[in-house]
Structure 1
Amino acid sequence: MIILGLTGSIGMGKSTAAAMLRRLGCPVHDADAAVHRLYARGGAAVPRIAALFPQAIKDGAVDRVALSAAVLGQPAALRRLEAAVHPLTRADADAFLKRCARRRVPLVVMDIPLLYETGGERRVDAVAVVSAPGFVQRARVLARPGMDPVKLANILSRQVPDRIKRRRADFVVPTGLGRRLTLLRLARIVAALKRRRGRVWSPHRPWPGSRGHAPQRKA
């Protein structure tokens, strides 16, 4: 089973690309959606975060705005949060991969917004980066409710620059020249990867990096 990591900076069209990959028959694990499930009422992350940041719990669920405020500008607090939540997200991803392996799925996609920022490239067979011109990215992001240039600059400061992501990626997917071109590019990537054999995950062991296993480096 081949594992493709899908990533890209804010406003580059990753969600659109993920939807297209699903249309092409690829199961997609959405890391953000997994976190939302973990933070919802009854989610596995709620008691862990309640013990660390009780002010971030409202009506039995994690209030992401309050949680962000609790760790903003506090690296030690952010590390505690990551140590509490990351094992749960990895376990969720591992369960997803096992389900796909049982179905003998040839290619799966891990949609990870901060893939390079968290060393996620070591846990996939290949990386596809979605990219668009800067002016397109800026227009998309600033059209979002509650967004402004200062917030955008703050977000970008915490992300690996697009030019570096493109240089490190196995595949670059353009998203600023129309959906048809994006879909064609993704279809070519899927066809190429299905001819390969996976190297980083086996049904006989957890996904590299999950449950305490050290991530394997790509050869």
Structure 2
Amino acid sequence: MKKIVVSGKTVDDAIEQGLGQWEVAEDRVKVTVLEQPSRGLFGWIGAKDAKVELELIPDPLEEALLFLKDVFRTMNVQMDVDVQSGKDLTTFNLSGEELGILIGRRGQTLDALQYLVNIVANRYSNTHVKIVLDAEDFRNRRRKTLEDLAMRLASRVMRSKKEVILEPMSSLERKIIHSRLQDHPSVKTYSKGEEPNRRVVIALK
């Protein structure tokens, strides 16, 4: 934990000085009063300032971002991160020349990083924090690819009258397939198998 000890004529003055050093609001710190101010003899001889200890309360998004940048340093890749905060989730958009390394095959590396980033963020939060890790709109492009795949395979099932079993996918990608075909008039979907080899099955209704 990051801590500082500061002094001031009053407790409030000391707190203000500490907040100014860190450039944070008071709700980002835990305050412990170490010494109350005293006026001293005749109001000034032996007078003592107030002394307080400020402990910085970690911000979940800042900690997640620091973790991510440490990963980049370890991998020796240069990445920029644009943080977009929404109502229910925060998106970390990555950009750089070596995105292929971070995305991985079908986004598996990106998914793994996203999983770890969320673990770090929620370690420092009392409420659930959701972070989506994206890389130059990869998530939307991948969704479109999966939705197109779902429709093509549904047509194949209708022609062949045989069910189709897809390759293993993450729960998020399986959900995209299920959602795209949930209102299809002729086919249905379900999942089978155990993680990490759980697959979507497309079959006739």
* TM-score where L is the length of structure 2: 0.27
Between Structure 1 and Structure 2, the one with more helix by share is: 1
Bigger RCO of structures 1 and 2 (CA < 8 A, at least 6 apart): 1
Greater fraction strand: 2
